[in-house]
Amino acid sequence: MVLAVVAMIAGAASARAGIGGVAAGSGSDRGGPDSASSAGIANSAGLGAGADASGCLDTEFGRRTLQVGDCGDDVATLNWILRSDYREAPLADSFADGTEAAVARFQSDADLPPDGVVDETTSRALVRDMSRQRATWYGPGLYGNPLACGGTLRRATVGVAHKTLPCGSKVVIRYKGHYVRTRVLDRGPFSRGLRWDLTQAAADRVGLEADGAGKVRVASIPKPRKR
């Protein structure tokens, strides 16, 4: 009887040691005891679909409220739009003090509360402040041709053509809620009533290719001309 009890206690102890061993082994395979807490931090930072390793979101501008501490593709678009109107926003994908100050200046000019936060009202006002112009796209049959600003037009080339803006000028194009940030790399268009020619790759990004031509919203940051 005593021997049976001892055997049962020993078996239970072995089972507990075995369970502990499996848990420790699994923890080691996942990177050690801190892995679970690290995963929790990553999830709370917003990682997952549409986010990069830093937690910055690949989101279209206007889909969420933006404020100090945010980062992502939409913040980069915001900064370019702000910079186009000579508000000294940094050309970065992070929302820092410089962006907040530029947003507050825009809000003040637009008779909005200058809190530096880009909510739906402010984002809509920023879009209305962008110029509305007609654009088309080009590419097929021209691949391999030289670009006016240097280089060669390829199927994957993302850029825009404009008649007068200096080569390399930064441009934000908005079409039906989609944005592309790019640069002037060619001359054109030469059809009456059109102001912009997007390469096919740029047109793909905003959906203009399917429509052939359309009215776009534009914010441009002219590159200083060389003296």
Task: Give me the residue spans of the domains in the chain.
Answer: 73-128, 131-221
pLDDT of residue 222: 83
pLDDT of residue 194: 96
In b/e form, how buried is each residue of 4-39, taking b as 16+ CB within 10 angstroms?
eeeeeeeeeeeeeeeeeeeeeeeeeeeeeeeeeeee
- Average pLDDT on 171-179 reads 97
Separation between Cα atoms, residue 121 and residue 107, nearest integer Å: 10
CATH class name, domain 131-221: mainly beta
The yes-or-no verdict on residue 227 having pLDDT over 60 is: no
Rounded to two decimals, the pTM is 0.75
Report the DSSP pairing between strands 160-161 and 178-186.
Answer: parallel
Q: What percent of the chain has pLDDT over 90?
A: 69
